[in-house]
Amino acid sequence: MSADPHYQATEEAHTGPIKNPKQLLLAVFFSFIAPILIIVGLVSYVVSGTKPAGTAEGDNMALYGVSKESRDKEVADRLKKVGAIEIRDANRPLTAGEAVFKAQCVACHGAPGIPGAPHLNDAAAWGPRIGQGYATLLEHALKGKGAMPPQGGGDFEDLEIGRAVVYMANAGGAKFPVPERPAAAAPAEGASGAAPAASAPAAAASTAAAPAK
């Protein structure tokens, strides 16, 4: 019966493709090792996409013409606090009126300036304004008037803005004195020594008035 071709074909169909140990090893390799290698390759591919900012992002920034310095500055500007505290030295020398004028006022009040603003050395334009007095001109400068925005609270103290007002007004014919910081009240000399001197006679008088025991 073993010589029967039909029997041999049926036997081969039931035996399967693995017929020796070598084929068994290959089957085990492709069943277990190959999937593991595929998974490791996929993980490596995914992880390689998360590059540091200096590689992929840096290449994109260079592609669009954006430098790293400008990008860092933009991020810093977005993260900085809205408000800021500026500490100024109250004892620093006051800026001269001419310097304040050149730094903050010359664009409107210089030559050619803007229409409607009294220009430097224009006595006709400054005449009516000088008649309002220094205090009114200073208030207009600090708080703004008409098309002129407020000038107070900027790079200069209010007193320095006042110096610029005096500089422009005097150039137009005024005789305003240049404002200065008020002098600190000096402690009266001898005030501390006057009290003990006054208390000494009072003590002596009280001792003399006491009845003798």
Closest-CA residue to 117 (of 154, 139, 147, 161)? 147
Residue 17: predicted pLDDT: 65
CB atoms within 10 A of CB 110: 16
- pLDDT tens profile 87-100: 666 678 889 999 99
Q: Is residue 213 part of a domain?
A: no
Q: Is residue 187 part of a domain?
A: no
The total number of structural domains in the chain stands at: 2
Q: Is residue 32 part of a domain?
A: yes
Residues 6+ apart with CB under 8 A from 98: 164, 167
- Both tokens of 163, joined, read 């110096």
Q: Check: pTM over 0.85? Answer yes or no.
A: no
- pLDDT tens profile 149-177: 998 878 899 999 999 999 999 999 999 99
Q: Is residue 204 part of a domain?
A: no
- The answer to whether the CB of 196 falls within 8 A of the CB of 203 is no
Share of the chain above pLDDT 70, in %: 63
Domain boundary among 171, 186, 206: 171
- pLDDT tens profile 74-122: 777 777 666 556 566 667 888 999 999 999 999 999 888 898 899 999 9
CA angle (164, 166, 170) in 5-degree steps:
125
Residues 6+ apart with CB under 8 A from 58: 68
The radius of gyration computed from the CA coordinates of the chain, to the nearest angstrom, equals 47
The amino acid that residue 103 corresponds to is A
Phi and psi at residue 148, to the nearest 5°: -85, 125
Q: Is residue 191 part of a domain?
A: no
Closest-CA residue to 142 (of 121, 156, 132, 129)? 156
Q: Is residue 138 part of a domain?
A: yes
Please state at what angle helix 123-130 crosses helix 158-171, rounded to 10 degrees.
120
Domain assignment of residue 43, given as a range: 7-48
Do 43 and 101 fall within a single domain?
no
Q: Is residue 19 part of a domain?
A: yes
Helix (H) or strand (E) holding 46: helix 34-48
CATH number at residue 131: 1.10.760.10
| Partners of 148 in beta bridges | 145
Q: Is residue 57 part of a domain?
A: no
Q: Which residue has the tokens 């390689």?
A: 48
